[in-house]
Amino acid sequence: MTNTYKKKIDGWARPSELLKKGSPSLWGKNGIHPNGINQGSLGDCWFLAACSALAEHPERIRALFDNTGYSIGGVFRTNFYHMNERVKITVDDRFPVNIGKNPRYMSYNKKRIYGTDMSENKAWWVPILEKSYAKLNVNYSQLNSGVPGVAFRELTNMPVEVFYTKDQKPAEFTKIITEADKKGWSMAAACREKHFDLATAHAYTLLGVVELKGGPTLVKMRNPWGSEKYSGPFRDDDPQWTAAWKKQAGLVVANDGIFHMKMSDFHLPFKRYAVAMYQDWKVSKTRI
């Protein structure tokens, strides 16, 4: 960490020192899950959104770890890619923490991880992956601000394409997202403008599109925090949802981070999106 960030932390602690009971779990009580990432004080939502998108397919997260479970000794080896080469990063489970200093709050005199904390699923794979990525980039402070496309590339070594929404007609956008979704490719987009209470300068996972029968085309999104603030048309409790549309979209009315928005509303705050073409590519060579 730089001197500026060192001043913001009060020490380091292991999960075993932070948990009130039980032992830490790498994957969580319900296995790898894309929801409920507890982002801390770092501005690395671009990295977390990519992680959340990859977690739609748990095997993609497991591929990032040499560990199959939580290390008794607190030592983890992770896999990233830099300049098309695999890079193995080894870290321990000591995390930078803050101690609550205001007696008016429940956090008073309690330790809390400065970066991403344990997920709502009681999993530690995200904090460990975040620490590994910080080490790859020299320190935690280097993770402040970035784009999901870069995170996808260094997490997967798969081809990544970035699309600009202003350059796309609705039919082209729908085709690209639909085909990517069918192929199981991972997608993410960053919100750049205030719009219907979306978090600005924040990255979201792009899940797909839904072409409602007799209605508009909706874009399906996920906030990796596992909660949603979107308040625009076709929010979960919008009365214009019909029973048929709810069934078609698979709508679940819950504060689970997943929400739908009209394509026109998506294009306003989301200026670009990244698609990681995650698949088992076959490389062939031809003599000329």
When mean pLDDT is compared across 6-20, 130-144, 248-262, the lowest value belongs to: 6-20
Domain-located, residue 3 = no
Higher pLDDT, 4 or 249: 249
When mean pLDDT is compared across 20-24, 114-118, 206-210, 278-282, the lowest value belongs to: 278-282
pLDDT band at 5 (very low <50, low <70, confident <90, very high): low
Domain-located, residue 221 = yes
Give the model's pLDDT for residue 287. Answer: 73
**HSE of 179 in the Cβ direction (CA atoms, 13 Å)?**
8
Q: Do residues 36 and 72 both lie within one domain?
A: yes
As a whole number of angstroms, the distance between CA 173 and CA 263 comes to 9
CA-based torsion, 51, 52, 57, 62: positive or negative: positive
Give the model's pLDDT for residue 232. Answer: 97
Domain assignment of residue 215, given as a range = 158-276
Q: Do residues 175 and 108 both lie within one domain?
A: no
Q: Pick the last residue of a domain from 153, 175, 194.
A: 153
Residue type, 275: V
Q: Pick the last residue of a domain from 153, 168, 200.
A: 153
Q: Which residues pair with 25 in a beta bridge?
A: 123
In sequence order, the 6+-apart residues with CB closer than 8 A to the CB of 176 are 163, 168, 275
Q: Pick the last residue of a domain from 121, 153, 185.
A: 153
Average pLDDT, rounded, for the chain? 92
Give the model's pLDDT for residue 103. Answer: 66
Structural domains in the chain (count): 2
> Is the per-residue pLDDT at 251 higher than 80?
yes
Give the model's pLDDT for residue 107. Answer: 60
Give the model's pLDDT for residue 228. Answer: 85
Please list the alpha-helical segments (H only) found in the chain.
3-6, 15-18, 45-54, 58-62, 125-136, 148-156, 170-182, 243-249, 263-267
132-182 residue pLDDT tens: 999 999 999 999 999 999 999 999 999 999 999 999 999 999 999 999 999
Beta strands in the chain (DSSP E): 11-13, 75-82, 85-92, 95-99, 111-113, 160-164, 186-191, 202-211, 217-222, 258-262, 270-276
Domain-located, residue 198 = yes
Give the model's pLDDT for residue 20. Answer: 86
Q: Do residues 101 and 201 both lie within one domain?
A: no
Q: Do residues 242 and 198 both lie within one domain?
A: yes
Q: Do residues 169 and 182 both lie within one domain?
A: yes
> Is the per-residue pLDDT at 106 higher than 80?
no
Q: Do residues 207 and 249 both lie within one domain?
A: yes
> Is the per-residue pLDDT at 7 higher than 90?
no
Q: Do residues 115 and 63 both lie within one domain?
A: yes
The arithmetic mean of pLDDT across residues 38-67, rounded, is 95
Domain-located, residue 138 = yes
64-99 residue pLDDT tens: 999 999 999 999 999 999 999 999 999 999 999 988
The first and second tokens of residue 108, run together, are 């008073």
Q: Do residues 149 and 53 both lie within one domain?
A: yes
Give the model's pLDDT for residue 108. Answer: 63
Global pTM reads 0.91
Could you give the percent of the chain with pLDDT greater than 90? Answer: 81
As a whole number of angstroms, the distance between CA 151 and CA 211 comes to 29
Domain-located, residue 286 = no
As a whole number of angstroms, the distance between CA 186 and CA 188 comes to 7
Q: Do residues 239 and 175 both lie within one domain?
A: yes
Give the model's pLDDT for residue 112. Answer: 87
> Is the per-residue pLDDT at 214 higher than 80?
yes
As a whole number of angstroms, the distance between CA 90 and CA 75 comes to 7
Q: Do residues 121 and 135 both lie within one domain?
A: yes
Domain-located, residue 145 = yes
Domain-located, residue 241 = yes
> Is the per-residue pLDDT at 1 higher than 70?
no
